Structures are given as C-alpha cells and as structure tokens.
Amino acid sequence: MKSLKVALVQHSNTSDTTHNLEKTISGIKEAAAKGAKLVVLQELHRSLYFCQTENVDMFDLAESIPGPTSDKLAEVAKSLNIVIVSSLFEKRAAGIYHNTAVVFESDGEIAGIYRKMHIPDDPGFYEKFYFTPGDLGFEPIDTSVGKLGVLVCWDQWFPEAARLMAMAGAELLIYPTAIGWDPTDEDDEQQRQLDAWVIVQRAHAVANGVPVIACNRVGHEPDPSEQSEGIRFWGNSFVTGPQGEILAHAGDSEEEILIADIDMSRSENVRRIWPYLRDRRIDHYADLSKIYRK
C-alpha cells in the first residue's frame, strides 16, 4: 500500500457516555464515507476527561476488553472494512485499571492493545490515581494498513517511546490525546504550550523518519471540584509526513473529521538521505537507562 487515507475524529464530550460514543461512531462512519481506511480516535473518547479530580466513583466508567464498547467498535470496523484506533478506560481486575488503546482490524478482530506507559500527575491531570502504568512495552501492532506504533497522550513528550516503536518496525506513530489549556493562563503561555506540543511530535517524525498522527479533543470541561476553571482542550489534531511536514491540521475549537493522505513509501526514501538509525552510537547510550546522571 503506497498511499493510505487516514482520518482523525476530533470532538467535544459531555457526561452522557452513550451520546459521546454515538458521536464517535458517527464520525467514524463519516470518515469511512470519505475513503479513510484508518480512523484514529481521541484519548478516552467515551467520557469526559475525569482525571481533573480524584474520585473513586469514576472507576465505574472502566470496562473490560473485550467489553461493551470494544464490541461495538469492533462491529463498526467490520461493517466499514476499516482499521480503528480507539482509547478506552480498561478494567483489568479489581483495583487494576489502565488507559488502553485498542486497535481493531477491518474484520472486527482486536489486532492488539497498548497500555499507556507514561502516567502524568499534575494539577488537573491526576492520572496516577486512576491508571496503572502499562506493562506491554513499546510494541507496534500489525494491521492490514501497516505496523502501527500506538502511544497515548503523555507518551508523546518522550523521545524514547517514539524511538523504541520505530526501532521495532512501526510505520506510523499514533497518539490518541486529551490535552488542553488552563483558561487562566496568559495567551502567550497558551501559545507556547501548544507550539511545544506540536514541535515535539513533529520532531518524533523527523528523528525516526515516520509519519505521526495526533488526535486531540476540543471543548471546555469544567472542574467537578470547582477548585479551578477546568480545561479547554485545544484540538489542533494533526498529521505529519516522515520529515515532520504537516499534511493536515485541525482547528482549536471546532469538531472536525480531519482527513489526510499518507505516502507510505516516503519513509524509506527519507531514511536513505537521513540515516539516523544507521548512525546511532548505541555503544555510548548506556546512561540513558538512568533517571539522571548526577
């Protein structure tokens, strides 16, 4: 497959999980009607971003995999003959929950899962309370549209994760995401944060010679504790080619089905002129396994 049409479903969420899932599935169907063979969904697309506070009742949102939501998405993937990358709150066992990406093959089977490895714990993003760190490592998932290096949100800031996926043969790096602004931040600070988010992921494309897909949500979600002004998710879902070139870029406030055509043959051509993997000095990288060198 030389050319792959991909779609990103960027939308806002409410407390009505049924409504959210219906909106997601509607977006998937619209994307398929436009010819997309790979559809990427935003992080935790079934619910509000519940990690703004620590509340044990939120664990009730979690589901087993396979489970009701994954079964429904599997049916959609099969009926449309497409590959779907979803993001679900997984209940693995009592007291063990994961932030898990599930990849559905075009025949409706689960091609594989990825459990979020890097778990943040910051004001408004209290994910360590909810998610056990992933235990599956950085392994690409084989599908009919290619070998997908699926990572999740906070993972997108870590070059090591992108590199390990690329070293294992990932042909695309994919990031379901839920990130936004503190509404009280100054405009300049908000712009710096957004620019950093885009730059670091474009850099993963450049450093590894592979396309990058990042799908984020939009809309304001209030803080249930009323201790802050909540989060305004900044959208800006985008797709790059293997030199970090922007192929498609969504806005910061509107729901959107973002479509892009990816030339799957370009990565090899780019790696021939920029052979970073060839020139890595792995004999001097042992200190990367340390938290800090002092």
Active site residues: 43, 116, 153
291: left (phi over 0), alpha (psi -120 to 50) or beta: alpha
b/e 112-137 (16+ beta carbons within 10 angstroms → b): bbbbbbbbbeeebbbbeebbbebeee
- DSSP code of 157? G
Alpha-carbon separation of residue 60 from 11, 64, 239 (angstroms): 23, 11, 33
Verify cis geometry, omega within 30 degrees of 0, for the bond prior to 183. Answer: no
Instruction: Give the Cβ contact number of residue 152 at 10 Å.
Output: 27
Report the distance separating Cα 174 and Cα 39, nearest Å.
11
Phi and psi at residue 185, to the nearest 5°: -70, 150
Angle at 29 between CA 47 and CA 15, to 5 degrees: 15
- DSSP code of 132? P
CB-based contacts of 52: which residues, under 8 Å, 6+ apart?
A: 124, 125, 126, 221, 223, 224, 225, 228, 230, 231
Handedness of CA 258, 90, 179, 120 (dihedral sign): negative
With CA atoms as reference, report the closest residue to 77 among 147, 7, 153.
7
